[in-house]
Amino acid sequence: MKKLEGKVALVTGSGRGIGREVALQLAAYGAKVVVNDLDAAPAEEVVAEIRAAGGEAVACVGSVTAPDFADRFVQTAVKSYGSIDIIINNAGFTWDNVIQKMSDEQWYAVIDCHLTAPFRILRAAQPIISAMAKKEAAEGREVLRKVVNISSGAAGGNVGQSNYSSGKSGILGLTKTLSKEWGRLKVNVNAVAFGLIDTRLTQALAGEDSKTVNIEGREIKVGVQQARLDGVAATIPLGRVGKPEEAAGAVVMFCLPESNFCSGQVIYCGGGPGSNF
């Protein structure tokens, strides 16, 4: 029997990058996965890949910041599979500027994605998880559930990222609080903070040319100058940037039974202590 067989996992931002790898790895361990992305095509591609490998998955397309998203996401899991066992709050992006040039729109867009959306998803899931936990307790069974929130080394502060750093710091407070509130419900709540991982948001720029991604109608600049990437890589003890599948492995580790007595913890997945990238 696979270690997560019969479990139902919800993963935000899982159509691309690290989230995609998390969804695929959870499915490989036997979990049924609710895949989310802003766009339908990448979400459906991941669903198709999981099904082709013999797993089960459904898509819940849309922005995690939409007021109705949390309830829709949670209900997709319940209506499709009848349970919620694992929640991964992974969706995110950066929209950088120094504070004197940062608009309210930039601030709230990033805070809402990285902090408000996870709060809403966990709030929407609580009544369902609580009801299941009470039923299991009455039957004399202990069933451990898992929440993994995604933070960053940037939670320690990064120039030009007052919005992102604040969101990634705030999610740590939410993680530790819920580890105390939800312990009685037999839920492990942990966080993984990433260092520099090779994704579309951290691609090397060609010269001064900037790249953009469309986030809810906004063209957001992404990519990093090669010189900066080289400088950050030089501070990483392992001597290189991380791969999406390696970042996903740190997340999945907190979802396995081996982590059943770990809660309220944060691990840094960045190749060793170094940059706050």
* pLDDT, tens digit only, all 277 positions of the chain: 799 999 999 999 999 999 999 999 999 999 999 999 999 999 999 999 999 999 999 999 999 999 999 999 999 999 999 999 999 999 999 999 999 999 999 999 999 999 999 999 999 999 999 999 999 999 999 999 999 999 999 999 989 999 999 999 999 999 999 999 999 999 999 999 999 998 877 766 665 556 677 887 777 776 666 766 777 778 899 988 899 999 999 999 999 999 999 999 999 999 998 656 6
Instruction: Give the global pTM.
Output: 0.93
The two tokens of residue 104 are 């309210």
Buried b (16+ CB within 10 A) or exposed e, 165-186: bbbbbbbbebbbebbeebeebb
Edge-first strand order for the sheet with 187-194 is 57-59, 32-35, 8-11, 86-89, 145-152, 187-194, 266-269
H helices of the chain, where? 17-28, 40-52, 69-81, 104-111, 117-138, 162-181, 226-235, 244-253
Question: What per-residue confidence (pLDDT) applies to 214?
Answer: 80
Catalytic residues: 164
Question: What per-residue confidence (pLDDT) applies to 216?
Answer: 77
What is the per-residue DSSP string for 174-231?
HHHHHHHHSGGGTEEEEEEEE-SB-SGGGPEESTT--EEEEETTEEEEE-EEHHHHHH
